[in-house]
Amino acid sequence: MPDQTVIVPVPDNALLPALLGPADQLLRLIEAAFPDTDILLRGNEFTINGPAAGEAGRLIEEQISLLRTGHLPTPASLAQSIDIVRAGERPSEVLAHEVLKSARGRSVRPKSAGRSATSTPSPATP
C-alpha cells in the first residue's frame, strides 16, 4: 500500500489532554497499532504519514467525536476503537449505541460492531 498523508485538526484544544492520555499513553497506543505510520502532533493538528494513514486518521477523528459526546478514552476503549476502525466501522456509532440499561441504571454498550445489531433471540432448548 502506498504512503499517504492525512491531516486531522483537533477543533478544541481542551480535548487534547484526554485524547493523548496521561503522559501521552493513548497516543503511544495508537502509534503502536500503526507501526509503519508516522503520527506527528503540532499545535492542534495531527499529521499522519504512512501506508495506514487513512485508518489512523479515522481512528483519531472517531476519538475526537467520542470525546465531544462525553466518552473519555481509556486504553481498553481505545483498543476496541482500533479493532472497530480496522473492521471498517465507526467507533462513535458502535460504542455510543446503548443496548440496554443494567439493574443499577448503567448503560450496556456493545464491544464490537457485530454486537450492536439487534438480533432475534434464539428459542430456548428444553
Q: Say yes or no to pLDDT of 110 above 70.
A: no
Q: Say yes or no to pLDDT of 123 above 80.
A: no
Q: 34 and 52 in contact (C-beta within 8 Å)?
A: yes
Encode burial over 104-118: b for 16+ CB neighbours within 10 A, e otherwise.
eeeeebbeebeebee
Q: Which among 48-62, 91-105, 108-122 has the top mean pLDDT? A: 48-62
Q: Residue 84 is placed in which grid cell?
A: 472497530
Alpha-carbon gap, residue 88 to 43, rounded angstroms? 29
**77 or 106, greater pLDDT:** 77
All domains of the chain, ordered by start, with CATH? Answer: 4-113 (3.30.1370.10)
Q: Say yes or no to pLDDT of 98 above 70.
A: no
At residue 54, the pLDDT reads: 95
Percent of the chain whose predicted confidence (pLDDT) is above 70: 74
Band of the pLDDT at 57, cuts 50, 70, 90? very high
Q: Give the mean model confidence (pLDDT) for residues 83-112.
A: 67
Band of the pLDDT at 94, cuts 50, 70, 90? confident
At residue 42, the pLDDT reads: 95
At residue 95, the pLDDT reads: 67
Closest of 37, 38, 31 to residue 51, by C-alpha: 37
